[in-house]
Structure 1
Amino acid sequence: MSSELATRLTELDLRLPDVSPPRGAYVPAVRSGSLVYVAGQVPMANGELVATGKVGGDVTPEEAYGLSRRCALAALAAAVSVAGRDAVAGVVKVVGYVASADGFTGQPGVVDGASDLFLAVFGEAGRHARSAVGVAELPLGAPVEIEVVFETSG
């Protein structure tokens, strides 16, 4: 992680989590050229899912916003793990999946948790293209899953 990125995370009182091992036949992140593609991240702590349920039902939109931030930090940790400590320079694309209760249409507000975190960490380099998608179910019963493409500097 670059000293600039490390400094910014410290200023924001954020710490990158350990990269969660995959629960399937994939890797957490892959670097291709100047891009790092991060597999979908669900809200984990110490290898365990921290929340289950559907947003707009068991999980409030405010809780899901925080879970989206947690997923974004996990995605950043995965990117750093493959790109090296000085390479992650910004965010290109975010796709957020929100397990949604019937009638819930606030997916963009939930995925704003990830987007807002990236803007706080990277400034203008954190601006990105984005999709926010409501789904019936997510792996392990997670309420939110965030997938990210990062830009690297070298």
Structure 2
Amino acid sequence: MTDFATHLHSLGIELPDLPAPAYSYVPFSRHGDTLYLSGQISRNAAGDILEGRVGEDASIEDGIYAAEVATINLLARIQQAIGLDNVAQILKLNVWVNSTDEFIQQPLVADGASQLLEKVFGEAGKHARTALPTHTLPQGALVELDAVVAIK
């Protein structure tokens, strides 16, 4: 095992094999030393989408877990694109939370993603972030996120 594979294993993370996008876009694009990652939804390794709306049929804890699952997919895309060991810094993370009008704790849900990135990359995992509510996400997903990454 490489050092990064060992580190992920110690965190209990197994990266899934993600399929190619089903629509007209690429899962990532690179410009110079910057990697742009397309949105990753809360789809677990078995292929099941974690669905719902926080404040309606999903709890804050469900949302945090969904953010972690989406982050694991993001890590898998980074691995496909450049390899996790080539990440210099997670620059920006955008997190959309499928939630009701009354739910206002999107940053708390997004912390599931932010904290996991910091566990994986340490200081290089700290990032600027936007956490936004939305009334729906693709395929009914609970969380979707994307990122911008600086490459070593």
Same fold (TM over 0.5): yes
Where in structure 1 are there 5+ consecutive unaligned residues?
Answer: none
Q: 1:36 to 1:47 in 2, by over 3 A?
A: farther
Aligned to 1:135: 134
Aligned to 1:102: 101
Is residue 2:68 matched to residue 1:69? yes
Partner SS, residue 148 of structure 2: strand
Q: How far is the alpha carbon of 1:20 from its aligned partner?
A: 3.4
Amino acid of the residue matched to residue 144 of structure 2? E
Q: 1:124 to 1:84 in 2, by over 3 A?
A: closer
Aligned residues of 1:20 and 1:44 also touching (Cα < 8 A): no
Aligned residues of 1:89 and 1:122 also touching (Cα < 8 A): no
Q: Deviations over 1:99-145 (max 9, x none)?
A: 11120001001110110000101111110000000011111111110
Mapping 1:39-50, distance limit 5 Å: 39-46=38-45, 48-50=47-49
Aligned to 2:114: 115
Q: 1:131 to 1:119 in 2, by over 3 A?
A: same
Partner SS, residue 75 of structure 1: helix
- Displaced runs of 4+ in structure 1, greater than 4 A? none
Where in structure 2 are there 5+ consecutive unaligned residues?
Answer: none
Aligned residues of 1:21 and 1:28 also touching (Cα < 8 A): yes
Q: Could you tell which deviates more after superposition, 47-56 or 106-115?
A: 47-56
Is residue 2:10 matched to residue 1:16? no
Q: 1:102 to 1:86 in 2, by over 3 A?
A: closer
TM-score norm. by structure 2 comes to 0.91
Aligned to 1:5: 4
